[in-house]
Amino acid sequence: MSLTTSEYDSLLREYEQRQLDGEKELRRRKEEVAQAVPAIAEIEERIVDGSLQAARLALAGNTSALDALGRTNEWLINQKRQLLVGAGYPADYLERHYTCPLCKDTGTEIVTNADGSETRRPCTCFRRAIIDRYYMDDGLRQRLARENFTTFDLRFYSPQRVDAATGQTYRAIAETALADAKDYADRFGSEYRNLMISGYSGVGKTFLANCIAGELLSHGYTVLYLSAFRLFEIFEHYRFGDRESSRQASLDFDNILDCDLLIIDDLGTEMSNSYTTSQLFVCLEERDREKKSTLITTNLTMDELSKRYSERIASRLFLFRYIKLFADDIRIQSML
């Protein structure tokens, strides 16, 4: 599902409403406290007056008077908090409470650039709202709830069958893969790594990717899950679609580049051409430049990926942490 312009505007209006609701709630609490503890309203007035005086003194460059006024205001704030607690209220009851303290419910955050300049960009909460609402359908939500590290079942991996290349049993390989996936999720945010999970159909590649996705989502990261088919469809619409589909694809593409973790499921099953392949390289290159992690699942071996895609893409994929799974088709095993 794509994010349309009207849906984007609707989300912006929700953030505007969130700000209005927050201001309304703060006014309600102030009115409540003014009746219950009149002395607090007087202190608040003195704090406001002090802030105005501080602004005038700062413009005049009177630092000594400004410091003294700052100490007075700090004492008044402490007095207000003590009165609130004494009346049975939380100490921060008269402070504005935000759903997202980072952007203060505006949907945008200020980022300081390397040269000291500041740039506004969509806040993490806003990007996550977009992904949660418009990319995660009910089926995917249910699957992520079902497929997690606690439900990954090693019994589907044979302790007798052996991979000829490594001499390890399927079970031992799966145990290592599970440990590597948990480690990847644990280190996410502190260590930049890309991950590729390879294996034939039905060995649990997507399940393991979903385990990682669910873990990161629970810690507030933005995770965008796209099948390879859907990803390449966005690339097509970005360049060749009509005005509306191009607009939608442009918004999709921004999220593809900006999310904390991009999951590309079943790479190699899509219909590709020279343009979409080049866009895949742009996607991987941009995400690598910004140290945004990518997780790929595929049925293809590294040799097959090298033959299917350009050398530039293959060189990127060879840098991914590589996990391979072996099993008799788990979907068939589950039915049996």
Place of tokens 């359908």: 137
Contact 174, 158 (CB under 8 A): no
Reference 131, options 11, 35, 232; nearest CA is: 11
Q: Any idea where the domains of the chain sit in the sequence?
A: 5-97, 135-335
The tokens for 1 are 């599902």
Q: Angle at CA 283, nearest 5°, toward 282 and 287?
A: 115
pLDDT tens string, the chain, 336 residues long: the values are: 455 667 778 888 999 999 999 999 999 998 999 899 889 888 888 877 777 776 676 676 767 666 776 788 788 888 889 999 999 999 999 889 999 988 999 988 887 877 878 888 888 888 888 777 766 666 777 888 889 999 999 999 999 999 998 999 999 999 999 999 999 999 999 999 999 999 998 899 999 999 999 999 888 888 999 999 989 988 887 776 666 666 666 778 888 998 899 999 999 998 878 888 898 999 999 999 999 999 999 999 888 988 888 888 988 999 999 999 998 867 666 665
322 beta partners: 196
Please tell me the pTM assigned to this model.
0.71
Q: How far apart are CA 208 and CA 214, in angstroms?
A: 10
CATH ID of 135-335, from 3.40.50.300, 3.40.980.10, 3.40.140.10, 3.30.70.600: 3.40.50.300
Q: Does residue 305 contact residue 298 with C-beta atoms inside 8 Å?
A: yes
CA distance 172 to 177: 9
